[in-house]
Amino acid sequence: MPGNNVPRRSTERAWLITGPLASLAILITTFLAVTETIKPRDLLVAGLLVLVMVVAGVPTLSFVVRRQAVVVTLTEIPLVLGLYWLSPVLVVLIATIAAVVTQAHRRYLPPKFWFNVARDAAGVSVAGVVVVAAPPLDGVGPATWGVLFLAVSANTLISLASVVGVISLLQGWQGLRGTTAMAVQVFLTTALNVAVGLLILIALVTTLWSTLLLVAITVAGVMLYRAYSRFLRQHRTLGDMYELTRAMTSAGHEGALADVLLDRIRTLMQAEYATLWLPAQRRHPEVLLTARLDDRGLLDVAPTPVVIRERAFEAGHNVTLGRLLGGDAELRRAIAGRQVKDVIVVPLRSGKVVIGTLEVVNRLSDVGHFTKADVPVLETVAAHAAVALENSRLVDRLRHDAYHDTLTGLPNRRRITGALDESVKIGAPDEVVALLLFDVDGLRQVNESLGHAAGDKVLTEVANRLRASAPSSALVGRAGGDEFLVTLRLESAEAAVELAAQLRDQIRDEMVFDALTLDVDTAVGVAVHPDHGSDAATLLLRVDLAATAAKSVPGSVQLFNPALESRSLRRLGLAGDLRRALDQNELEVYFQPKVTLRDRRLVGVECLARWEHPAHGTVAPEDFVAVAEHTGQLSRLTEVVLREGLRRSRDWALADQPLPIAVNLSARTLIDRHFPDRVQELLTEYKVPAQRLTLEITESGVLDGTDRPIPTLQRLRDLGVRLSVDDFGTGDSSLAHLRRLPVHEVKVDRSFVQGMATDPGDLAIVNAVVTLSQQFGLTVVAEGVESELTLELLQDIGCEIGQGFLFSRPLPYERLAAWFGAQVEPETVANGELPRLRVVP
């Protein structure tokens, strides 16, 4: 947008200066006509002097001051001769006639035409008054030099004062400052012209033969002047190009390239407008910026029609329009009536590709026009500008890529960290800075089953939904992998949890990719400043812990609490201890009986790993199992439990008490294609029939929405091993999914079994699971049987097997043997039947 616009005043206001100048010229000329006489013999010299003055007035030295051109000519030379030889009134008439001819030759508009004529007439008339007021000129000595110098200087002073006045009137103080700056050069030029004129005068007075030498010197001087002007113009252009290149190089890194580029190009080309146009390209929007003489800053509009720059862009060549440039007639009609007199449009190239255009419009001054010599200059500028623009965009792209995710275009973890650091520095008593971490569930399964392209589509869709659903004040980013971060200011931690739940619901809607429909869920962690940390690093650490905790309950939202951190630190410390415990056989296997609910017969035991840490005491199984998964020790842990279970099963069989065993497997174990072979080796080593081994896999592990676990499950079933789905009901799967899996058993999660006696909903769920499982030919095991009432309800709905504290807690082997002796009726063992419990404590 433009800033500090200078009002554009009509040139008609120049009459306010032209009128007084004309009046001054008429008054002085009248005075001179009355006091001076014109000699007839002077008329021939006057006619010759008119011709000389016209010739001297055509070559010009121009100083462009904003929109106006101050023209310095060689007319002072014939003026010196005229004031010496002719009557002052005749000199005024000669100068006025010459001014009319030269101004008509330059085709100035009427306001400037009459201003220049009046200025010349007034200046020469004042010079005439100086000559009349001085002592009569006698010879060509120093006294004559002084009078003529004062007279011509008076002419220059009047001329310069009138120019300053009209430019200040039209353009304000900015024009006054520019004109004053070149006043010294004008007076120096005048002094030089007067000196040359006096030399010519002395030569002519001495001998008329000097005319021949003067003509030769004049011709040589004109040629030298033209050569020097051309050299000076080229030198100035090269200097300006060098400064422009330096300015573009430094400004490209400061983000001010367009400002520096356009302003300097406009000055270099002496143009009223300079415009840069870059069409939209990938993430870069369209750029249209214009530097105008009267404005500080840039405009977002251009005076030329769009069709002109589009023609240059599409054709890939220059478009030039103007009096001296010619151009396409159709395009010239397009600029008619737009206050556009000439245009040069040059394409910007990056290699062979056109990336935009650079254009200049209207050479400054009323009669100035662009020429064909200006086109190569702008082409050179455009070549440098294109390189600078490409470098600037490259730097911008690298800076953008450093802080944004390539796949989703969202800010990355570095950008989020920086924004979070800035946010926590500005505290507000009634606000918190909330950080939400969304962890996409099941992305690994999508990548492995459908390919990474499908996984990328899921991530992109999650990013789009988060970006669309999050409040406008939120910063949404991708932390990496399957994690997304959202940070914003809210009124409380509770509001952050509520927002997290709302955003999670938005993400959960079905995602349709071609003919495929996916259900995507997320676990969400929440942390807030200042409650959970005073810096970005701490908040990111703690929100990650909260998200990890949320994964244990699929699709949940977890607010950070200090217990999560202490548990995480504890797990970190357990990694080395677990390896040592496995090496030294410090882990112990406990056994929990499985009992038929109708006749309370013992049908097997579940093998459960237990770890008594020398410093931390009893370590929860979920803690050391998680440590084993993350440290690559899961296979060793699983083998320890399998070996101990199979060894005890063999011992029981040798004691005529053959009992099946059940061992829990992690979902990761099903990825190991060598695991079935290892199970076969252990069964052979301990000589335990495969049907006495049941492998229990959690619902989320066996029903992950893909076919990935099926090959491993099928190989295990082919070995004769029984397969069980543990913790059924805690995930999002249905019993119908079990029909395609080679499993034998379903274990109803303890949370539903324990709630049967008080919650009709839990009772209905267990009833449905039992009924449908039996129809599918699956055995149903109820976990968490802890009361006689629960036992009766399970019996009523037809559940077959149960395990829980009502029968026994998990026991070490020695105590399990004692439990056998106390609880099992000996006669059932002696008869070869399944051991039946004597009492239920």
Strand segments, DSSP code E, in 425-576 are 432-440, 475-480, 483-490, 511-513, 516-518, 522-529, 557-559
> How buried is 104 (Cβ within 10 angstroms: 0-12 exposed, 13-18 middle, 19+ buried)?
exposed
Q: Give me the pLDDT at residue 452, please.
A: 82
Going by pLDDT thresholds of 50, 70 and 90, the confidence category of residue 720 is: very high
Q: Give me the pLDDT at residue 496, please.
A: 92
Cβ proximity of 22 and 121 under 8 Å: yes
Q: Give me the pLDDT at residue 705, please.
A: 53
Q: Determine the average pLDDT of the residues in 73-82.
A: 82
Going by pLDDT thresholds of 50, 70 and 90, the confidence category of residue 662 is: very high
Q: Determine the average pLDDT of the residues in 641-650.
A: 93
Residue of 71, 74, 162 whose CA lies nearest to 366:
71
Tally of residues, the chain: 841
Radius of gyration of the chain (CA): 49
What does the buried/exposed string (b/e) look like for 702-718 if buried means 16 or more CB atoms within 10 Å of the residue's CB? bbbbeeebeebbebbbe
Residues 6+ apart with CB under 8 A from 579: 631, 633
Sheet holding 475-480, edge to edge: 475-480, 483-490, 432-440, 522-529, 557-559
Q: Give me the pLDDT at residue 515, please.
A: 65
Q: Give me the pLDDT at residue 65, please.
A: 42
**Tokens at 4, concatenated:** 């500090």
Residue 611 pLDDT more than 60?
yes
pLDDT tens per residue across span 378-409? 888 888 888 877 777 777 777 778 888 888 88
Q: Give me the pLDDT at residue 202, please.
A: 86
Q: Give me the pLDDT at residue 619, please.
A: 84
Long-range contacts of range 256-259, CB-CB < 8 Å, 24 or more positions apart? 257/388, 257/389, 257/392, 258/287, 258/289, 258/298, 259/291, 259/297, 259/298
Q: Give me the pLDDT at residue 58, please.
A: 66
**Tokens at 126, concatenated:** 């004042």
Going by pLDDT thresholds of 50, 70 and 90, the confidence category of residue 731 is: low
pLDDT tens per residue across span 164-187? 777 777 666 555 555 555 677 777
Residue 72 pLDDT more than 70?
no
Going by pLDDT thresholds of 50, 70 and 90, the confidence category of residue 678 is: very high
First-to-last C-alpha distance (Å) of the chain:
87
Question: Which of 16-25, 56-65, 443-452 tops mean pLDDT?
Answer: 16-25
Going by pLDDT thresholds of 50, 70 and 90, the confidence category of residue 213 is: confident
β-pairing, 522-529 with 516-518?
unpaired
Q: Give me the pLDDT at residue 555, please.
A: 57
Residue 679 pLDDT more than 90?
yes
- pTM, two decimal places: 0.51
Q: Give me the pLDDT at residue 489, please.
A: 92
Residue 49 or residue 732, greater confidence: 49
Lowest mean pLDDT among 158-167, 636-645, 762-771: 158-167
Question: Which of 29-38, 147-156, 169-178, 233-242 tops mean pLDDT?
Answer: 147-156
pLDDT tens per residue across span 92-146? 898 888 888 888 877 777 887 888 888 888 888 998 889 888 888 888 888 888 8
pLDDT tens per residue across span 507-550? 887 777 766 677 778 889 999 998 888 888 889 988 988 888 88
DSSP H helices in 256-373: 257-268, 306-315, 329-335
pLDDT tens per residue across span 573-589? 677 788 888 888 889 99
How far is residue 773's CA from residue 755's CA, in Å, rounded to a whole number?
Answer: 20
Q: Give me the pLDDT at residue 233, please.
A: 62
Q: Give me the pLDDT at residue 69, please.
A: 46
Residue of 646, 652, 657, 734 whose CA lies nearest to 684:
646
pLDDT tens per residue across span 42-70? 777 788 888 888 877 765 555 444 444 44
Going by pLDDT thresholds of 50, 70 and 90, the confidence category of residue 5 is: very low
What does the buried/exposed string (b/e) look like for 588-599 if buried means 16 or more CB atoms within 10 Å of the residue's CB? ebbbbbbbbbee
DSSP assignment string, 244-264: HHHHHHHHHTTT-HHHHHHHH
Neighbours of 501 (CB within 10 A): 14
Residue 504 pLDDT more than 80?
yes
pLDDT tens per residue across span 797-834? 999 999 999 888 999 988 888 888 777 666 555 555 56
* Neighbouring-strand partners of residue 595: 602, 802
* pLDDT, averaged across the chain: 81
Going by pLDDT thresholds of 50, 70 and 90, the confidence category of residue 604 is: very high
How far is residue 780's CA from residue 744's CA, in Å, rounded to a whole number?
Answer: 9
Residue 658 pLDDT more than 60?
yes
